[in-house]
Amino acid sequence: MNELLKMKFFELLSKTSQEVTNTEMQDAYGEFVKHIVTISNSEDYSYIFRMLNLTRIEIAPLKELYQCGQGEKCA
């Protein structure tokens, strides 16, 4: 179930921006998207829903963290 959360993309998101190059992030994101496409080709819709929902739940706090760090309104 946590296979998406263990991907390099999430590891890079947790690092400070000075440690991550654009190329690294682009490659990790490309790998992440390919994995999402693979999961979406499954016939088990409850599995797809759980995987994508869990991923969304993990990404939401990261979005707020980065917006807050860039001068946006913090919640």
Which amino acid would we find at residue 26? Q
3-state secondary structure 32-49: HHHHHHHHHCCCCHHHHH
Give the distance, in angstroms, between the CA of residue 44 and the centroid of all CA atoms in the same chain: 21
- The separation between CA 8 and the C-alpha centre of its own chain, rounded to angstroms, equals 9
The DSSP symbol for 27 reads: H
- Give the model's pLDDT for residue 33: 87
Q: Is the pLDDT of residue 6 over 80?
A: yes
Model pLDDT for residues 44-53, shown as the tens digit of each residue? 888 888 888 8
Q: How far is CA 12 from the centre of its chain?
A: 9
pLDDT of residue 17 exceeding 70? no
Mean pLDDT over each residue of the chain, to the nearest integer: 78
Query: Average pLDDT of 60-71?
Result: 65
Task: Report the predicted TM-score, pTM, of the whole model to 2 decimal places.
Answer: 0.65
Cα 34 off chain centre by = 12
